Structure 1
Amino acid sequence: MDSDVRVLGLEAGPAEASAVPRRRLTRSPWWTLDPLRTRFGLGAMEADALRVWLISRIGMVLITWAVIWTGWGATTKQPRGWASMWQRWDWLRFYDIAAHGYSLRARHGASIAFFPGYPGLLYAVHLVFRSWVYSGLLISLVAGAIAAIALARIIALEAAHLGEPEARSAVRDGVTLFVWAPAAVFLAAGYSEAPFLAFTLWAWLAARRERWMAAGLLLAGAATIRVNGLFVLAAVGVLFLQSRPRTPRAWLRGGWLLVPLLPVAGYMAYLHSLTGNWNAWERAERLGWNRHLSYPWHTFANTWHYAFGRYLTAHESWEYQLEIAVTLLGIGLVVWLGIKRRWAEFVYALLSVGTLATSHVYLSVPREMLTWWPLWAALAVWCVRRPWVRTVYLTVSAPVMFTVAYLFLTGRWAG
């Protein structure tokens, strides 16, 4: 019997209960997920998040299909291959590292700017599936699902005060906004965003429950993929201090939070042995992408010139316009978290946004936006309280997301 009918039947008398119209017993179209839910202990909210994620993958398939047939000019009569659509930009770096190891010949050794965690994972999956590009797509599919489930739990914690129905609605809305983010194509591509989020979001959940060993180990996994794992570590460190450890045993439990430093230190030591320089990673960032410390007003001015100075092609200028918009959004997020005194999330957002806002130019900020889980949690709660937020967000973000995906899939720079 339908759950709503069952509840009404318990509250009403026999006559009233019999008068309640019974719905036809039908099997949910998602019944195939039931064994998965049982096996991994997923609740209704996590299942909702998984459904949203899987449906969004259908949308990405349709976008890719459209680009295969329409993205190559008016005279082209044959579609491009599916796999070739996803062999773009950083993916080529990851593939080259996984297949051949690090090289100092690529653009002044810029490949060493990529941490070894994702190439190592790609190499391991390729041993089974024997296709580099589809191994990358599979990693993003699975890791993205894991991250979506973790994001659902984070949103549920933030929306718990609203009540169960509203919290469940917040989860659906928050994950939906996440999968329709402007740079959502990078959650599908063979990039590091999805596996980084899978480690990061579960580490945050573990820290919220004061499970410091799990948080430290998960953050170590994140730190092998991106240096931003240290930003999350700083935020988790604030959570640890907010737990007010008083005894030596409590402080020792927090020692697990030192573990994420090991892979970063190990990689820096490896680069030193390879290049003879302790700052080899920073040098690769500077030579490969011109990333170096700059005053924030200089960074804004440089980006503004790229966006509106007509020095670049039109689509590249549009990308810099998007970089400016998302950076301003990130600054707004930092200010809001500070006003709300959410110091752990504030520290993470400040480091994440601040490093990008004080580089030579805003670069890859929409991609970084994918990792701002405080933003998705806040938007999810706002969507419940003010449903128009969801409408406005999707109205703005959906066409931007399609445009970024179109640029990426056609081989043009997309951030």
Structure 2
Amino acid sequence: MDSDVRLLPPEPASPESADTPAAGTASLTPARLRRYPALARAARRLGPRDGDSVKIWLLSRLAMLAMTWIVAWTGFGSKGYSPHGLASIWQHWDWLRYQKIAAVGYTHYAKHGASYAFFPGYPALLWATHLFLRSWVFSGLIISLVTGLIACVALGRIIEIEALAVFGESEPGRARARQAVRDGLTLFVWAPAAVFLAAGYTEGPFLALVLWAWLAARREKWLVAGVLTAAAASIHINGLFVMAALGVAFLQTRPRGLRAWLRGWPLALPVLPVAGFMLFLKHFTGQWNAWERAEETGWNRHFSVPWRTFLSTWRYAFGHKVPAATAFEYQLEIVVTFIGIALAVWLATKRRWPEFVYVGCSVGTLACSHVYLSVNRETLTWWPLWVLLGIWCVQRSWFRPLYLTLSAPCAFTIAYLFLQSRWAG
């Protein structure tokens, strides 16, 4: 990723993105798809890069299925003669809140924070999926499976674009770019917090929307980018960070004249779902700051100067104030927070301002809370990190095995804790 690479030149046409099948795509268009023209057209657009993305995602789901099986048989004591239910072990923590909002709407019930700390986009998607599947837990798992696949395809395309800018358009450069896609996605699906891509959480849908919004912005399709980011903002407040990053990307196109400036108006659309939700909460609770109060009541999220946040987290991690398993999670939060800070600094030094704005806002808000909380999960949404690491794996052959050696045990441990309904960040 070179500092001279501009973010927004239109993505060059390539044989892989053309309507005609690229080499290696025949296996993606089986004969039975010919009966469904729309599916056949979509399959023809999947080049080798997209095929790699699909395979890596599906293989990682087999690993997650194996973790589920292991926890069901070993994670709930040694005296029982039957395994725990495979579906029930996914029903923990925030998932229960999303499911309740989808089923009965928002309530004032405030055990560990009121339900209105959660944005309505994901519960609405869960409710719509439940209409067809008639199972809440499987609706959440299917949403994560499908949206995770969509996000992986988009992330693979972003990695390829950036890798081609580094390695060039020659045949060896294309081969190295394809390897960067494979490596970056492998590291992504084996991130320490990878279990949250499988659970009924917001990471999958949010990523699926913002990554395709980013690709649309690269082609200067601002209406598409704005609509997708608005949908993401209805799921998670970080949609506003994406809006800010896309705003910087729009400014980098150097618009001239009123007509050019007006092309960027859709990038303000993410304000609408956030403002609408805040108006709803004002009507529902009588308070303009109801969302902020819910965050503070439930998770003690409030502003703190960065050094105090670090010291508070350090005491949780090493001060014997919480159980050891919980302390481990805070130790991991410290590590990934400093990775995020380093990533933001690197993006700034390379003058990659749109990505810097997004990562900086994400890391900054978490580093200025009471303690580092859910930063591990947040890393899943830092797509510049996976782009950078994918390219590093090609440039430094030792990095991929080093990462997997350290990350895979963390990923298994966090999954094991979460599936047992123990604190996993």
Measure, in 2, the Cα distance between the counterparts of 1:333 and 1:109.
Answer: 32
Q: Which residue of 1 aligns with 2:109?
A: 105
- 1:216-244 CA distance string (max 9 Å, x none): 00001100000000001110000000000
1:106 Cα deviation after fit: 2.7
2:87 to 62, 75, 83: 83
Q: 1:61 to 1:164 in 2, by over 3 A?
A: same
Measure, in 2, the Cα distance between the counterparts of 1:99 and 1:313.
Answer: 34
- The letter of the residue matching 1:152 is G
State whether residues 155 and 380 of structure 1, in contact with CA within 8 Å, keep that contact through their aligned partners in structure 2.
yes
Q: Which residue of 2 aligns with 1:119?
A: 123
CA RMSD of aligned residues (A): 1.7
Q: Which residue of 2 aligns with 1:238?
A: 248
2:149 to 132, 145, 148: 145
1:74 Cα deviation after fit: 2.1
Measure, in 1, the Cα distance between the counterparts of 2:28 and 2:262.
Answer: 45
- 1:36-62 CA distance string (max 9 Å, x none): 674251111011111100010001000
SS at match of 1:327: helix
Structure of greater Rg: 1
Is 1:318 the equivalent of 2:339?
A: no
Q: Which residue of 1 aligns with 2:99?
A: 95
Q: Which residue of 2 aligns with 1:5?
A: none
1:380 to 385, 390, 403: 390
Q: 1:113 to 1:56 in 2, by over 3 A?
A: same
Q: Which residue of 1 aligns with 2:77?
A: 73
1:169 Cα deviation after fit: 0.5
Measure, in 2, the Cα distance between the counterparts of 1:31 and 1:56.
Answer: 23
- 1:249-268 CA distance string (max 9 Å, x none): 11111001111110000000
Is 1:332 the equivalent of 2:336?
A: no
1:298 Cα deviation after fit: 0.4
> More displaced, 105-114 or 362-371?
105-114
1:99 Cα deviation after fit: 0.2
Q: Which residue of 1 aligns with 2:42?
A: 39
TM-score, normalised relative to structure 2: 0.89
1:107 Cα deviation after fit: 2.4
> More displaced, 98-107 or 132-141?
98-107
Q: Which residue of 2 aligns with 1:404?
A: 414
Measure, in 2, the Cα distance between the counterparts of 1:77 and 1:390.
Answer: 40
SS at match of 1:181: coil
Q: Give the number of aligned pairs.
A: 390
State whether residues 25 and 46 of structure 2, in contact with CA within 8 Å, keep that contact through their aligned partners in structure 1.
no
Is 1:128 the equivalent of 2:132?
A: yes
State whether residues 113 and 299 of structure 2, in contact with CA within 8 Å, keep that contact through their aligned partners in structure 1.
no
Q: Report the identity percentage.
A: 62
- The letter of the residue matching 1:329 is I
Is 1:164 the equivalent of 2:169?
A: no
Is 1:347 the equivalent of 2:350?
A: no
Q: Which residue of 2 aligns with 1:291?
A: 301
Q: 1:195 to 1:34 in 2, by over 3 A?
A: farther
Q: Which residue of 1 aligns with 2:54?
A: 50
2:403 to 390, 393, 403: 393
TM-score, normalised relative to structure 1: 0.91
Q: Which residue of 1 aligns with 2:187?
A: 177
Measure, in 2, the Cα distance between the counterparts of 1:34 and 1:304.
Answer: 57
Measure, in 2, the Cα distance between the counterparts of 1:30 and 1:404.
Answer: 34
Measure, in 2, the Cα distance between the counterparts of 1:76 and 1:321.
Answer: 33
State whether residues 112 and 297 of structure 2, in contact with CA within 8 Å, keep that contact through their aligned partners in structure 1.
yes
Measure, in 2, the Cα distance between the counterparts of 1:222 and 1:239.
Answer: 18
The runs of 5 or more residues in structure 1 that have no matched partner are 1-25
Measure, in 2, the Cα distance between the counterparts of 1:368 and 1:34.
Answer: 40
The runs of 5 or more residues in structure 2 that have no matched partner are 1-23, 34-38, 168-172
State whether residues 184 and 389 of structure 2, in contact with CA within 8 Å, keep that contact through their aligned partners in structure 1.
yes
Measure, in 2, the Cα distance between the counterparts of 1:172 and 1:353.
Answer: 26
Measure, in 2, the Cα distance between the counterparts of 1:298 and 1:353.
Answer: 15
State whether residues 37 and 47 of structure 1, in contact with CA within 8 Å, keep that contact through their aligned partners in structure 2.
no
- 1:134-189 CA distance string (max 9 Å, x none): 00000000000000000001001100131211111110111110000000000000
